[in-house]
């Protein structure tokens, strides 16, 4: 979807463990920050799209999540649309908000993502992830993961999925072992991604983890599911992120002189495909490039869905930063580190910035908007002009259930 939506303001909380802070306070902090950044009044907002994935399971708040969060900061009357789409909830909310502005239905729309995943009962948190697959096939999926782990000699991965960790780490671990077998990718290359993102996260005051790790630190950390050590897995977290989108007419009224535009936002779901057929990420990326009139060589900076270190490496290949199977050598080249040819996850990514799932997609947009506006501080990519966000959610079969790719330009 080509869009004419312009980002007028962004805001987000620090991501982390906020056991004493509720969904309303987290969402409200992000919303108020975005409104202040845009220089508008609450009364100017004509509609809101609120992304959340797991409040029903974790906090018990169902049905009217967005209305509850927004009323707490004095926003009512307007249409509020609740969006649930697994880890792609926030990017889907943004996609829908941008569509409404582009269609000319609204001049000012708020898109929010908010999530609380920490709970005293860890099984409640992990249940939020187990619900992001086909639950009628859950037993079969778990057995297939265990069998694959046993066959590959992955002792840790052969038990404990969904109990002491998110089952998605087992899904990523299985994909990682497959990539290593097919392309010769190494555990050290996955560890380099975690170390890189920890360096980026150490520069981000809103990141959940700010300790810089070496490759050795990553490799020597506790094994979660072979080959993933703990720093190769995104943590659970709490947080909120928000964006104010405006029409070109409203941007002129507000005097936005150097606008960040949503050039395109592409949303697809996975499908039953052949084993050699490219998946939903490749589909979204190619469509996004065509609609925005750019290619991978035009990108200045990007945020991708590194729910695990191998997921980032595979995203490089889908996004076209390198050919299939060449993600490992790309990591080794240093190209994706700050100062490299194409910095990836300058925020620290999901691995270090954190992954409150319903907020993640818009948090990526916050980082990229600030990069394009030259206000990312020590993480700034010099002269950034074109940015890409890649955010997936859920799993059905061998692919993401939802995938959203957004390209921003200035």
Contact 206, 187 (CB under 8 A): no
SS3 at position 266: strand
Residue linked to tokens 């979660």:
224
Q: Residue 86: which of 346, 336, 310, 396 has the closest Cα?
A: 396
From the list 18, 87, 233, 404, the catalytic residue is 87
SS3 at position 277: coil
Strands 228-229 vs 223-225: parallel, antiparallel or unpaired: antiparallel
Read off the tokens for 140. Answer: 């079969």
SS3 at position 10: strand
* Active site annotation includes 355: yes
CB contact burial 154-168 (16+ within 10 A = b; e otherwise): bebbbeebbeebbbb
Contact 63, 84 (CB under 8 A): no
Contact 368, 193 (CB under 8 A): no
C-alpha distance from residue 41 to each of 226, 246, 349 (Å): 50, 13, 31
Q: Residue 162: which of 136, 190, 187, 143 has the closest Cα?
A: 143
Contact 321, 337 (CB under 8 A): no
Contact 15, 207 (CB under 8 A): yes
Phi, psi of 120 (to 5 degrees): -60, -30
Strands 399-409 vs 386-396: parallel, antiparallel or unpaired: antiparallel
* Active site annotation includes 404: no
Q: Which H helix or E strand runs over 358?
A: helix 357-372
SS3 at position 281: helix
C-alpha distance from residue 95 to each of 193, 328, 391, 407 (Å): 28, 31, 12, 11
Backbone CA torsion sign across 166, 167, 169, 172:
negative
Residue linked to tokens 């947080």:
239
Read off the tokens for 144. Answer: 């297939």
From the list 119, 305, 355, 390, the catalytic residue is 355
Chain-centroid distance, C-alpha 274: 26
Which residues are marked as active site? 87, 355
């Amino acid at each position: 979807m080509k869009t004419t939506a312009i980002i007028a303001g962004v805001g987000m909380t620090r991501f982390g463990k906020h056991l004493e802070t509720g969904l309303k306070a987290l969402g409200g902090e992000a919303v108020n920050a975005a409104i202040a950044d845009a220089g508008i009044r609450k009364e100017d907002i004509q509609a809101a799209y609120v992304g959340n994935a797991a409040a029903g399971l974790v906090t018990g708040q169902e049905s009217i999540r967005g209305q509850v969060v927004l009323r707490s900061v004095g926003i009512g009357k307007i249409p509020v649309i609740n969006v649930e789409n697994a880890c792609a909830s926030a990017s889907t909310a943004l996609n829908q908000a941008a569509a409404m502005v582009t269609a000319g239905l609204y001049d000012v729309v708020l898109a929010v993502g908010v999530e609380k995943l920490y709970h005293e009962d860890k099984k409640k948190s992990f249940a939020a992830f187990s619900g992001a697959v086909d639950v009628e096939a859950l037993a079969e999926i778990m057995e297939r993961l265990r069998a694959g782990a046993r066959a590959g000699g992955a002792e840790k991965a052969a038990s404990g999925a969904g109990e002491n960790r998110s089952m998605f780490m087992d899904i990523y671990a299985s994909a990682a072992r497959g990539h290593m077998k097919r392309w010769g990718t190494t555990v050290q290359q996955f560890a380099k991604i975690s170390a890189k993102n920890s360096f980026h996260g150490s520069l981000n005051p809103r990141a959940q983890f700010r300790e810089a790790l070496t490759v050795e630190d990553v490799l020597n950390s506790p094994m979660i599911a072979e080959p993933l050590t703990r720093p190769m897995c995104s943590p659970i977290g709490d947080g909120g992120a928000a964006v104010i989108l405006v029409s070109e007419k409203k941007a002129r009224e507000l005097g936005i002189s150097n606008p960040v535009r949503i050039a395109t936002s592409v949303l697809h779901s996975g499908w039953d495909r052949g084993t050699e057929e490219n998946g939903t990420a490749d589909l979204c990326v190619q469509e996004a490039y065509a609609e925005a009139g750019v290619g991978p060589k035009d990108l200045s900076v990007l945020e991708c869905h590194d729910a695990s270190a191998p997921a980032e490496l595979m995203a490089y290949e889908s996004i076209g930063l390198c050919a299939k199977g060449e993600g490992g050598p790309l990591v080794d080249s240093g190209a994706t580190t700050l100062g490299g040819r194409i910095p990836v996850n300058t925020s620290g990514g999901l691995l270090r910035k954190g992954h409150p799932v319903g907020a993640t997609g818009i948090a990526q947009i916050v980082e990229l908007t600030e990069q394009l506006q030259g206000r990312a501080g020590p993480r700034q990519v010099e002269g950034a002009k074109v940015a890409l966000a890649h955010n997936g959610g859920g799993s059905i079969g061998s692919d993401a259930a939802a995938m959203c790719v957004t390209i921003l330009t200035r």
